[in-house]
């Protein structure tokens, strides 16, 4: 296996173009034959043809019908090289595959008796030798031949041409995709599947057939995905004027899938956990995720498929933009303020940690070892923030103008993030030269805020200074162009007029300042009293704010800010300050007492009858262990845990009656409803129950137990199960075994049972997890099983970093075991070691010992190797 890095600066356009490709698949039980006929053009004089191909068995290679002799081509581990070709020719390649033995789940593989493909990023080269790069786009015609009984459904991209009965128990389907595409968007499915159907009429009046496929018996759980698809299609027409461009849109749910879902043209393939849902089997969070991922994949049809990537370094061009689009869609479907809080939580928990760790990289990276490792929080979530900042700077109207320009310029092309930035900036008369540093510089910028008020002059001065910590290969940073939405409040919480020559009002009526220098000062005039600053509203930039605001201001904003994001942000900041003190006291062996002022403010929130329940649920969250791990100097899992439970139980003790009132008010109300409002009620009452459970009193445990047994939906059942699973009560084992017995044959649901046990804070969690890896329901080749048990455990900061256990060694063993079968899945587990530099010396040594052990394994994949070797 090659271990070198590839560099963006080495990019060279392809030396050949492909007019069209014809792919014939003959599927048998023990092998699959693929014949690929491509109409090729050599566009560079004398260039040799180098086709990508990995783990392929080549049967024959022909040019214009004549088989090549063995001295006319050369085969290496990763390429088929033909030194000399005509200028224009037909290339015919026959390969033989064994999908039933493909455990990497890229290329063509078999899941649960269904043949399916995953080609992004570089899986097509496991199907046939080809120019496997996104800037080679071509037209596809596909035939699939298979046993008619075993594989009645035969799908590929584009239009269904016909299906032929071959008479011998076999049949053959013909497909043609009218749109040119890169090979990473190719897809094929062959299996015995159930289906649900609906239609959507586009704004120009075309009728599109919509189909969602799943294994027989599960198709009735596909209706929520279908509804989500129709909502997405409508939203993209209304918001961006983008219409669907084929007669059919298909979604197929598959049990074994490395990622969430894949946007193959006209034929999306989904991890079944992101398709199948009904209220018995799926939680409110599942319903929400399904809606957003269905939307995400649908939106790729324009941002990714019609306009695609020039090379993989540009991945954020489609992913950042499409995440931004799905976040905006979710905001419109639910509650904009709450959605923003959730998106920022995810960004900070995952991406900020990544950007502060050993694998920090820019949104548009410059080098990599494994292309698959590009699918990161930075490319997706920070990439989305970069797009959002563009929209903030030019306003929504301006952004729409830029998007229209982007499609006008680049439809049908393979382009770069530079092209996108130009399409947004130019029609809006903006200069994004400095702004584009967001694409090129890694690390989370820090903005320091200092305030001064001059009573005599009536002037308020805001001084800002930006810095950015050094990151791998980037010791020094140039200043970023940072849009900062803000307001000033008077002492009653009313917005004050912003009298400052540097304030801008964008077309959405939002006040913002654009920080471009390292240090800048902003003077606001005509203020008779000291104003209270509300800064970084809606989290208008992905930065860390260092703002030593007085406590009075923080409490004031928590109660009164007109920006709901900031109200919750202030609650988080106050919670964080308090936890920080508790952690320090725990480490010094001092008693942990809770600041009364904070308790009073939280209690007031709990008692606030006017506050929207879903927003209240967000206000009541206290910073997670993952956030503490970023904010604290040392990752001391025991101190974190004690600080958090001390605070949570104090809140519960103080508000026992009120929390019970909330619980009873919303419990059992519309238990089957999928309305976002009802989701909010349930989130709040289940959070109330979680708080109450900290009291460890029998009355509360009995309520949780009753909720488990009488639950009418999965949200309530899972909440109760999670609570019981984290106790030593007699209820625990009964609930867990009941859940197992009910769902053991349901591949999607049983994963929740693994997660409930992997995420507890009980001391024996590691032993439970070890035992579960040997449980009959756990299959280490199934990514969902691995993620829900092992990755969930790796993210369990308290128990993964418990100094009294050998968790690191166990985890390293599992990474090695999985890596040999499926490098992509193994690589996703490696992030558990991202906090190594925060550990105390003894723990750090333990972790590094394991990392070194893994890296020393010669056969370790480049995926895992790239991520691990940077930590040592």
Catalytic residue numbers read 297
Question: From ligand TRP, Zn ion, none, which one binds at residue 262 (CB under 5 to 8 Å depending on kind)?
Answer: ligand TRP
Question: Considering the rule CB under 6 A, would residue 818 count as an interface residue with ligand TRP?
Answer: no
**CB 370 within 8 Å of CB 862:** yes
Pairing label, strands 308-309, 414-415? parallel
How far apart CA 38 and CA 42 sit, in angstroms, is 12
1 contacts: CB under 8 Å, gap ≥ 6: 77, 859, 861, 862
Least distance (Å) between residue 133 CB and ligand TRP: 16
| Near ligand TRP in 98-127, by CB under 6 A | 118, 120
Considering only the stretches 8-16, 207-215, 261-269, 633-641, report the one whose residues sit in contact with ligand TRP under the rule CB under 6 A.
Answer: 261-269
Considering only the stretches 255-263, 451-459, 497-505, 582-590, report the one whose residues sit in contact with ligand TRP under the rule CB under 6 A.
Answer: 255-263
Q: Which is nearer to Zn ion, 318 or 838 (CB)?
A: 318
Least distance (Å) between residue 322 CB and Zn ion: 5
Least distance (Å) between residue 184 CB and ligand TRP: 8
Question: Considering the rule CB under 6 A, would residue 375 count as an interface residue with ligand TRP?
Answer: yes
CA nearest to 812, candidates 832, 796, 834: 832
Reading phi first (left if > 0) and then psi (alpha if -120 to 50, else beta), residue 443 is in left
Residue nearest to ligand TRP (CB): 259
**CB 401 within 8 Å of CB 322:** no
Question: Considering the rule CB under 6 A, would residue 343 count as an interface residue with ligand TRP?
Answer: no
The site map against Zn ion for 286-325 (x = CB under 5 A) is ---------------------------------x--x---
E strand residue ranges, 739-822: none
* Cα torsion 245, 248, 253, 256: sign: negative
Least distance (Å) between residue 259 CB and Zn ion: 9
Considering only the stretches 39-47, 193-201, 253-261, 324-332, report the one whose residues sit in contact with ligand TRP under the rule CB under 6 A.
Answer: 253-261
Least distance (Å) between residue 346 CB and ligand TRP: 14
Q: Which is nearer to ligand TRP, 143 or 824 (CB)?
A: 824
Question: Considering the rule CB under 6 A, would residue 370 count as an interface residue with ligand TRP?
Answer: no
Q: Which is nearer to Zn ion, 309 or 843 (CB)?
A: 309
Least distance (Å) between residue 410 CB and ligand TRP: 19
Among 145, 291, 297, 345, binds ligand TRP (CB under 6 A): 297
Question: Considering the rule CB under 6 A, would residue 385 count as an interface residue with ligand TRP?
Answer: no
Least distance (Å) between residue 824 CB and ligand TRP: 6
Q: Which is nearer to Zn ion, 321 or 532 (CB)?
A: 321
The site map against Zn ion for 318-337 (x = CB under 5 A) is -x--x---------------
91 contacts: CB under 8 Å, gap ≥ 6: 36, 37, 38, 40, 49, 61, 62, 63, 85
Among 824, 850, 861, 863, binds ligand TRP (CB under 6 A): 824
| Near ligand TRP in 164-223, by CB under 6 A | none
Question: From Zn ion, ligand TRP, none, which one binds at residue 726 (CB under 5 to 8 Å depending on kind)?
Answer: none
Measure Cα distances from 783 to 106, 170, 583, 600 in Å: 12, 32, 36, 45
Strands of 114-118's sheet in order across: 107-111, 114-118, 188-191, 153-156
Q: Which is nearer to ligand TRP, 89 or 312 (CB)?
A: 312
Expressed in angstroms, the distance from the first to the final Cα of the chain is 22
Question: From ligand TRP, Zn ion, none, which one binds at residue 355 (CB under 5 to 8 Å depending on kind)?
Answer: none
Burial of 169 from C-beta contacts in 10 A (0-12 / 13-18 / 19+): exposed
Q: Is 11 helix (H, G, I), strand (E, B) or coil?
A: coil
For 213-269, give the DSSP string.
Answer: EEETT-GGGGHHHHHHHHHHHHHHHHHH-----SSEEEEEEESS-SSSEE--TTEEE
Question: Considering the rule CB under 6 A, would residue 326 count as an interface residue with ligand TRP?
Answer: no
**CB 689 within 8 Å of CB 704:** yes
Q: Which is nearer to ligand TRP, 262 or 622 (CB)?
A: 262
Q: Is 678 helix (H, G, I), strand (E, B) or coil?
A: helix
Half-sphere exposure of 276 (CA within 13 A, CB side): 23
Token digits of residue 540:
């208008």
Question: Considering the rule CB under 6 A, would residue 255 count as an interface residue with ligand TRP?
Answer: no
Least distance (Å) between residue 674 CB and Zn ion: 24
SS (H, E, C) 149-207: CCCCEEEECCEEEEEEECCCCEEEEEEEEEEEEEHHHCCEEEECEEEEEEEEECCCCCE
Measure Cα distances from 597 to 552, 640, 827 in Å: 10, 21, 45
Least distance (Å) between residue 300 CB and ligand TRP: 6
Least distance (Å) between residue 271 CB and ligand TRP: 9
Q: Which is nearer to ligand TRP, 63 or 116 (CB)?
A: 116
Least distance (Å) between residue 296 CB and ligand TRP: 6
Question: From Zn ion, ligand TRP, none, which one binds at residue 375 (CB under 5 to 8 Å depending on kind)?
Answer: ligand TRP
Considering only the stretches 73-81, 256-264, 684-692, 696-704, report the one whose residues sit in contact with ligand TRP under the rule CB under 6 A.
Answer: 256-264
Q: Give me the long-range contacts of 12-15 (CB less than 8 A, separation at least 24).
A: 13/135, 14/43, 14/131, 14/133, 14/135, 14/136, 15/42, 15/43, 15/44, 15/47, 15/48, 15/49
Question: Considering the rule CB under 6 A, would residue 376 count as an interface residue with ligand TRP?
Answer: no
Measure Cα distances from 531 to 137, 460, 492, 553 in Å: 57, 8, 10, 10
* Peptide linkage before 357 cis (omega within 30 of 0): no
Among 94, 177, 319, 381, binds ligand TRP (CB under 6 A): 319
Give the total of residues touching ligand TRP (CB under 6 A): 13
Question: Considering the rule CB under 6 A, would residue 261 count as an interface residue with ligand TRP?
Answer: yes
Question: Considering the rule CB under 6 A, would residue 726 count as an interface residue with ligand TRP?
Answer: no
Helix %, strand %, coil % for the chain, to 5?
45, 20, 35
CA nearest to 188, candidates 354, 72, 427, 25: 25
Q: Which is nearer to ligand TRP, 269 or 527 (CB)?
A: 269
| Near ligand TRP in 581-640, by CB under 6 A | none
Question: From ligand TRP, Zn ion, none, which one binds at residue 258 (CB under 5 to 8 Å depending on kind)?
Answer: ligand TRP
How many CB atoms lie under 10 A from the CB of residue 527?
20
Q: Is 649 helix (H, G, I), strand (E, B) or coil?
A: helix
Considering only the stretches 258-266, 512-520, 571-579, 661-669, report the one whose residues sit in contact with ligand TRP under the rule CB under 6 A.
Answer: 258-266
Least distance (Å) between residue 259 CB and ligand TRP: 4
Question: From ligand TRP, Zn ion, none, which one binds at residue 291 (CB under 5 to 8 Å depending on kind)?
Answer: none
Question: From Zn ion, ligand TRP, none, which one binds at residue 651 (CB under 5 to 8 Å depending on kind)?
Answer: none
Q: Which is nearer to ligand TRP, 135 or 263 (CB)?
A: 263
CA nearest to 410, candidates 421, 396, 395: 421
Half-sphere exposure of 58 (CA within 13 A, CB side): 24
Rounded to 5 degrees, φ, ψ at 708 are: -60, -55
Question: Considering the rule CB under 6 A, would residue 256 count as an interface residue with ligand TRP?
Answer: no
Question: Considering the rule CB under 6 A, would residue 444 count as an interface residue with ligand TRP?
Answer: no
Question: From ligand TRP, Zn ion, none, which one binds at residue 259 (CB under 5 to 8 Å depending on kind)?
Answer: ligand TRP
Q: Name the packing angle between helices 698-710 and 676-693 (round to 10°).
A: 140
Among 85, 138, 258, 759, binds ligand TRP (CB under 6 A): 258
Least distance (Å) between residue 269 CB and Zn ion: 13
Where on the chain is the footprint of ligand TRP (CB under 6 A)? Answer: 118, 120, 258-259, 261-263, 296-297, 319, 372, 375, 824
| Residues at the contact surface with Zn ion, assessed by CB under 5 A | 319, 322
């Amino acid at each position: 296996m090659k271990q070198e890095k590839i560099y963006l600066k080495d990019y060279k356009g392809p030396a050949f173009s492909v007019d069209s490709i014809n792919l014939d698949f003959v599927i048998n039980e023990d092998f699959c034959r693929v014949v690929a006929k491509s109409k090729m053009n050599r566009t560079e004089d004398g260039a040799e043809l180098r086709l990508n191909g990995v783990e392929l068995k080549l049967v024959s290679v022909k040019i214009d019908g004549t088989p090549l002799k063995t001295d006319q081509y050369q085969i290496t581990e990763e390429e088929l090289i033909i030194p000399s070709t005509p200028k224009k020719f037909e290339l015919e390649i026959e390969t033989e595959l064994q999908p039933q033995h493909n455990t990497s789940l890229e290329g063509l593989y078999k899941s649960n008796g269904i043949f399916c493909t995953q080609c992004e990023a570089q899986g097509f080269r496991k199907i046939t030798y080809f120019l496997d790069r996104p800037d080679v786009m071509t037209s596809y015609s596909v035939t699939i031949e298979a046993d008619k009984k075993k594989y009645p459904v035969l799908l590929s991209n584009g239009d269904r041409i016909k299906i032929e009965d071959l008479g011998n128990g076999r049949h053959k389907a013909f497909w043609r995709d009218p749109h040119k595409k890169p090979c990473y968007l190719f897809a094929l499915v062959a299996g015995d599947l159930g289906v649900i159907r609906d239609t959507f009429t586009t704004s120009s009046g075309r009728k599109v057939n919509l189909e969602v496929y799943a294994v027989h018996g599960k198709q009735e759980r596909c209706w929520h995905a279908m509804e989500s698809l129709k909502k997405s299609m409508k939203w993209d027409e209304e918001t961006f004027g983008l219409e669907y461009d084929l007669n059919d849109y298909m979604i197929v749910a598959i049990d074994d899938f490395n990622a969430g879902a894949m946007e193959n043209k006209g034929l999306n393939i989904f991890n079944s956990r992101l398709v199948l849902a009904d209220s018995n089997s799926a939680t409110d969070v599942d319903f929400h995720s399904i809606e957003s991922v269905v939307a995400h994949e649908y939106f790729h049809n324009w941002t990714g498929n019609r306009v695609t990537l020039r090379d993989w370094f540009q991945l954020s061009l489609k992913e950042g933009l499409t995440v931004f689009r799905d976040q905006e869609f979710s905001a419109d479907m639910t509650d904009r303020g709450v959605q923003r809080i959730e998106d920022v939580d995810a960004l900070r928990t995952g991406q900020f940690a990544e950007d502060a760790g050993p694998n920090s990289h820019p949104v548009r990276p410059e080098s990599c070892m494994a292309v698959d490792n590009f699918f990161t929080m930075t490319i997706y979530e920070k990439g989305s923030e970069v797009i959002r900042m563009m929209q903030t700077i030019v306003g929504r109207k301006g952004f729409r103008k830029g998007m229209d320009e982007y499609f006008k310029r680049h439809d049908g092309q393979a382009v770069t993030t530079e092209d996108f930035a130009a399409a947004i900036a130019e029609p809006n008369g903006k200069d994004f030269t400095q702004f584009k540093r967001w694409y090129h510089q890694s690390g989370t910028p820090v903005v320091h805020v200092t305030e001064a008020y001059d009573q005599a002059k009536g002037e308020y001065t805001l001084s800002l200074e930006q810095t950015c910590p050094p990151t791998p290969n980037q010791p020094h940073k140039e200043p970023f162009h940072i849009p900062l939405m803000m307001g000033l409040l008077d002492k009653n919480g009313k917005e004050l007029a912003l009298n400052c020559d540097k304030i801008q009002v964008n077309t959405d009526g939002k006040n913002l300042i654009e920080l471009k220098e390292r240090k800048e000062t902003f003077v606001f005039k005509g203020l008779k009293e000291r104003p209270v600053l509300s800064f970084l509203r809606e989290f208008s930039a992905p930065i860390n704010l260092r703002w030593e605001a007085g406590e009075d201001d923080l409490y004031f904003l928590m109660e009164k800010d007109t920006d709901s994001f900031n109200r919750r942000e202030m609650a988080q900041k106050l919670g964080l300050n308090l936890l920080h003190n508790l952690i320090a006291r725990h480490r010094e062996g001092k008693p942990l007492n809770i600041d009364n002022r904070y308790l009073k403010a939280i209690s007031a929130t709990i008692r606030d009858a006017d506050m929207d329940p879903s927003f209240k649920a967000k206000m009541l969250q206290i910073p997670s262990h993952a956030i503490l791990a970023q904010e604290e100097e040392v990752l001391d899992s025991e101190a974190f845990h004690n600080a958090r439970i001390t605070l949570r139980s104090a809140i519960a003790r103080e508000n026992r009656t009120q929390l019970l009132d909330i619980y009873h008010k919303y419990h059992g109300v519309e238990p089957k409803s999928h309305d976002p409002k009802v989701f909010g009620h349930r989130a709040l009452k289940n959070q109330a129950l979680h708080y109450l459970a900290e009291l460890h009193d029998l009355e509360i445990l009995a309520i949780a137990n009753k909720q488990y047994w009488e639950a009418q939906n999965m949200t309530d059942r899972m909440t109760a199960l999670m609570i019981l699973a984290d106790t030593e009560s007699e209820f625990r084992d009964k609930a867990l075994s009941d859940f197992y017995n009910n769902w053991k044959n349901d591949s999607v649901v049983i994963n929740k049972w693994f997660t409930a046990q992997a995420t507890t804070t009980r001391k024996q969690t590691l032993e439970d997890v070890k035992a579960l890896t040997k449980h009959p329901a756990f299959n280490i080749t199934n990514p969902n099983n691995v993620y829900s048990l092992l990755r969930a455990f790796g993210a369990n900061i308290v128990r993964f970093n418990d100094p009294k256990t050998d968790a690191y060694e166990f985890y390293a063993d599992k990474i090695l075991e999985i890596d040999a079968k499926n490098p992509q899945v193994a690589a996703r587990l490696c992030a558990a070691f991202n906090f190594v530099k925060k550990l105390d010396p003894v723990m750090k040594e333990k972790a590094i010992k394991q990392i070194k052990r893994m890296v020393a394994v010669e056969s370790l994949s480049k995926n895992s190797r790239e991520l691990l070797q940077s930590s040592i």
